[in-house]
Amino acid sequence: MYFYYFLTELGMNRKYGGMLITPIQLVQFIVALTLIVYETLNIQECRTVPWAIYWMWFTYAVFLLFFLKLFFDKKQERAKSVAPRADREKKAL
């Protein structure tokens, strides 16, 4: 993401880079979550300190809740903007 900001400062068109950030971050999120699950199931093998596992689960839960909140807020916002447009189209007919 910081590399994207760097490129936009150099003059890259934001449209192209912005389309890639979300899919890349989602892949990163899924890979990291998969690794956390593996590490949780193999604490002894990975020699992980238990508080680190708790911290990883906590931070990813917070990010997931934040993402879901933004997603549903935007969904509601889109629904509100579509409803008045549909009403205007009915009146025009």
- Give 39's contacts (C-beta < 8 A, 6+ positions apart): 46, 48, 53, 56
**Cα-to-chain-centroid distance, residue 82:** 24
Q: Report if pTM > 0.85.
A: no
Q: What is the pLDDT of residue 91?
A: 63
Residue 36's identity, in one-letter code, is I
pLDDT at residue 88 above 70?
Answer: no
Residue type, 28: Q
Q: Alpha-carbon distance 83 to 85, whole Å? A: 5
pLDDT digits (tens, 9 = 90+) for 29-85: 889 999 999 999 998 898 889 999 999 999 989 988 998 898 888 888 888 887 666
Nearest in space to 53 (alpha carbons), one of 63, 64, 43, 44 = 43
